[in-house]
């Protein structure tokens, strides 16, 4: 059975990624340390453009944690890492070859989430289960016909949660591929919608919980038998 997820547990001081292993890290964004020292000029400029202070704070914290996490695998100082960006903005480690570490970062309100693996692309998404969100409007704007039908077929009391399951899977998949997000025809396919862990021949998707009120999804282009989950920097 693909994708056995360990419970969230404290990370080792020097995490090791063997071939065919994948690590998920969760970390709180609600901390008050000063993280600017870890960021490069490009990141500091990005943070400056974020006019909502909470968003700027979350961006800085998540980038600093990302650097700390990757630094542990690479045995490098967090501030010495360099990122390149794909055409749609996906960050990758500069100079990484196809066998090297790959990662993806996501954040939502109080939580950051980072996936780290080796040699394959990866995507993650996390969302707060917002009870006020007009999810029907978002589904109308962003879901394919197939996804809308699937959502509509769920019972009233389950529909909001179903929306978040589909949304996070789709977002993780799009982030894994690293392409654009605006094509309305991007359809994760019925197979991905029906099961917990299903396969359309190229990508594996899996929902999981990050904490109460937070749902996440992982997307990878191959099966992983074990996904280790690390619970870092808890307040
Ligand atoms: C750019 C985008 C990744 C931002 O998504 P988001 O939900 O606001 O943010 P997330 O927390 O999931 O991910 C943000 C992180 O993903 C990474 N990222 C940015 N662009 C990316 C891309 N094209 N592909 C993969 N990862 C990307 C970055 O590390 C970013 O964090 P940082 O810049 O703060 O360091 C993209 O998903 C987006 O604009 N989505 C809009 C909604 C949409 O169109 N959804 C359709 C699918 S249902």
Contact criterion met (CB below 8 Å) for 169 and 184: no
Measured between alpha carbons, how far is 208 from 40 in angstroms, rounded to an integer?
A: 32
Q: Determine if ligand 1 sits within 6 Å of the CB of residue 23.
A: no
Measured between alpha carbons, how far is 75 from 16 in angstroms, rounded to an integer?
A: 11
Both tokens of 115, joined, read 């996936």
Nearest CA to ligand 1 atom 10: 106
Compute the distance from residue 181 Cα to the ligand 1 centre, in Å. 9
Measured between alpha carbons, how far is 14 from 32 in angstroms, rounded to an integer?
A: 25
Pairing mode, if any, of strands 204-211 and 214-220? antiparallel
Which of 191-201 are b and which e, b meaning 16 or more Cβ less than 10 Å from the residue's Cβ? ebbeeeebeee
Compute the distance from residue 105 Cα to the ligand 1 centre, in Å. 8
Measured between alpha carbons, how far is 94 from 85 in angstroms, rounded to an integer?
A: 9
pTM of full prediction above 0.95? no
Atom number, ligand 1, closest to the C-alpha of residue 186: 47
226 conformational bin, left if phi > 0, alpha if psi -120 to 50, beta if neither: beta
Contact criterion met (CB below 8 Å) for 122 and 218: yes
Question: What is the pLDDT confidence band of residue 194, given thresholds at 50, 70 and 90?
Answer: low
pLDDT of residue 235: 65
Higher pLDDT, 162 or 146: 162
8-42 tens-digit pLDDT: 999 999 999 987 899 999 999 987 788 999 999 99
Atom number, ligand 1, closest to the C-alpha of residue 108: 11
Measured between alpha carbons, how far is 128 from 106 in angstroms, rounded to an integer?
A: 12
Q: What is the mean pLDDT of residues 207-211?
A: 95
Compute the distance from residue 210 Cα to the ligand 1 centre, in Å. 18
Domains of the chain: 4-231 (3.90.470.20)
Q: Determine if ligand 1 sits within 6 Å of the CB of residue 162.
A: no
107-141 tens-digit pLDDT: 999 999 999 999 999 999 999 999 999 999 999 99
Contact criterion met (CB below 8 Å) for 43 and 143: no
């Amino acid at each position: 059975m693909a994708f056995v997820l360990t419970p969230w547990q404290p990370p080792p001081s020097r995490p090791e990624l063997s071939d065919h292993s994948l690590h998920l890290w969760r970390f709180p964004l609600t901390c008050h340390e000063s993280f600017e020292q870890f960021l490069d000029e490009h990141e500091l400029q990005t943070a400056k453009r974020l006019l909502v202070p909470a968003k700027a704070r979350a961006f800085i914290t998540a980038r600093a944690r990302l650097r700390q996490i990757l630094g542990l695998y690479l045995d490098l100082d967090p501030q010495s890492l360099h990122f390149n960006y794909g055409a749609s903005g996906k960050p990758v480690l500069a100079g990484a070859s196809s066998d090297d570490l790959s990662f993806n970062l996501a954040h939502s309100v109080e939580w950051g989430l980072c996936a780290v693996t080796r040699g394959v692309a990866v995507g993650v998404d996390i969302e707060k289960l917002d009870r006020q969100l007009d999810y029907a409007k978002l589904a109308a704007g962003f879901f394919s016909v197939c996804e809308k039908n699937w959502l509509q077929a769920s019972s009233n009391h389950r529909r909001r949660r179903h929306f978040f399951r589909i949304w996070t899977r789709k977002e993780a998949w799009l982030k894994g591929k690293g392409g654009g997000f605006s094509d309305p025809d991007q359809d994760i396919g019925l197979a991905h919608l029906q099961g917990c862990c299903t396969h359309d021949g190229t990508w594996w998707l899996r929902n999981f919980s990050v904490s109460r009120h937070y749902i996440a999804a992982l997307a990878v282009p191959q099966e992983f038998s074990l996904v280790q989950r690390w619970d870092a920097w808890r307040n």
